[in-house]
Homo-oligomer: A and B are copies of this chain.
Amino acid sequence: MAERKRVVIIGAGFAGLRAAHVLAKQAVDVTIVDRRNHHTFQPLLYQVALAVLNPSDIAQPIRAEFRHAKNVDVLMDEVIGFDIDHHHIDLRSGARLAYDYLIVATGSTHSYFGRDDWAKLAPGLKTIEDAVDIRRRVLLAFELAEREMLEKGTHPELNFVIIGGGPTGVELAGAISDIAKLYMRRDFRHIDPSEARVMILEGSPSILAAYPEDLRQKAVEQLNQLGVEVITGTHVTDVQPGYVILGSGPDAKRIDAVVTLWAAGVQASPLGKLLNVETDRRGCVLVDQFLNPKDHPEIFVCGDLAHVEENGRQIPGTAQPAMQMGVHAAEMITQDLNHAKRTPFHYFDKGDMATIGRKAAVAKVIWPFKAHMSGFPAWIVWLVIHISFLVNFRSRLAVFRQWAYTYLFFKDGARLIVGSQDLPGWNELDDKEKLDPTAPAPELSAKR
């Protein structure tokens, strides 16, 4: 028998995890390298950000996932270099890892279009840490407003500004509006959280650009019903502590924001460029129909790090295509081992959906039937699909229970603020009345 082949998988997102599961049943040795010790179920991250779910409800330690797969190794480390001519990668810890096959699936990260200084002011949502930070900012805004209301009898407008009207932006906006109007309202005495304004700022002419026109319309209607303001066709030109600038020149407009979130742009993980093969404008690796970069059949690039075109359209960077690519890459390796011919990848598009708050969604269904759905029926479809796709049985139960608790019985998740108590820009908003440190402190009026 020939020596067993070693497959190295970089990134334990949807693509990497699916590939590893397929290869776990084959006569190969697999090493998964990831900077984190857990897989994150990204489609539900926004619910962690809005304190509906716990981080552990949507994250699963990678090791636990492969506990019974003795041919799968998990390495918590970071890739810092490739030598694709000599088939090895270099790791942050100093080690070098040789491979026969390499699957690169490190996904994407936020793109601030060259304005990386905006990242601290307007965090995006890609990781558990991001979600916990966004949660802290949103909850803290209400606490600080209550404090100022007691202290001064007034507080800055509770404007939540979301830059970017893709699915993540829409989901964040709906969820913030929900928690302000449904849950926070009961907890505060002096402010009215339901007066919070939630705004989506989208540079292109329409939100949810990937969706058909009728669903885009429905989405705007449903957002408006929740009180979310949708402003399209104007670009954000500056992000500052406490406000953003919309447009430029004489039409430029300042929009105050207690919390600004970024859902506007993504770029490929830097590993794409590090591979030293051809990439596109966003840093995605150009691969052929077999998911290989040019001249490297032993390397597969999967998920949203890959630029794959089918029928002249680029396959979207969502969970479905990522999982399918992961499975395909693993199957092609298996076919090599069996001396079978490789087959091209085809994306089986079942459709797309985005939730809008607690009981609405838009869904472009392609399989098992073609339909455009919106409102409550679409939301039910979203619910069923997302529960069934959660990483394991336990999370599925936990999440379902949590949702039933939150949505059906109107109870709420634990809204813990963990970490810093600073909210960038809060004081910026408070410029009506600059405190003179030598003046006597204002007496606290707590009249109701």
* Chain A interfacial positions (CB closer than 8 Å to B): 6, 29, 31, 35-38, 54-56, 59-61, 63-64, 67, 70, 73-77, 90-91, 93-98, 128-129, 132, 139, 143-144, 146-148, 150-151, 186-190, 394, 405, 411-419, 421, 435, 440-444, 446, 448
Q: A73-B446, A129-B419, A187-B63 are in contact. Are A56 and B414 (CB under 8 A)?
A: yes
Q: A61-B187, A73-B189 are in contact. Are A151 and B443 (CB under 8 A)?
A: no
- Flag if B94 contacts A416 (CB, 8 Å): no
Q: How distant is A390 from chain B, measured CB to nearest CB, in Å?
A: 13
Question: CB-CB < 8 A to A37: which residues of B?
Answer: 139, 143, 415-417
Which of B59, B415, B416 is the one whose CB lies under 8 Å from A414?
A: B59
Question: CB-CB < 8 A to A419: which residues of B?
Answer: 129
Which of B60, B90, B441 is the one whose CB lies under 8 Å from A90?
A: B441
Q: Taking CB as reference atom, which chain B residue is nearest A131?
A: B418
Question: CB-CB < 8 A to A56: which residues of B?
Answer: 54, 413-414, 416
Q: How distant is A163 from chain B, measured CB to nearest CB, in Å?
A: 25
| Identical copies of this chain, number | 2
Question: CB-CB < 8 A to A187: which residues of B?
Answer: 61, 63-64, 67
Q: How distant is A136 from chain B, measured CB to nearest CB, in Å?
A: 10
Q: A94-B151, A394-B411, A441-B96 are in contact. Are A128 and B73 (CB under 8 A)?
A: no
- CA A41 to CA B70, docked complex, whole Å: 40
- CA A139 to CA B64, docked complex, whole Å: 13
- Flag if B98 contacts A444 (CB, 8 Å): yes
- CA A186 to CA B35, docked complex, whole Å: 21
- CA A69 to CA B399, docked complex, whole Å: 30
- Flag if A442 contacts B94 (CB, 8 Å): yes
Question: CB-CB < 8 A to A448: which residues of B?
Answer: 70
Q: How distant is A38 from chain B, measured CB to nearest CB, in Å?
A: 5
Q: A98-B443, A441-B95, A446-B73 are in contact. Are A418 and B128 (CB under 8 A)?
A: yes
Which of B73, B76, B444 is the one whose CB lies under 8 Å from A96?
A: B444
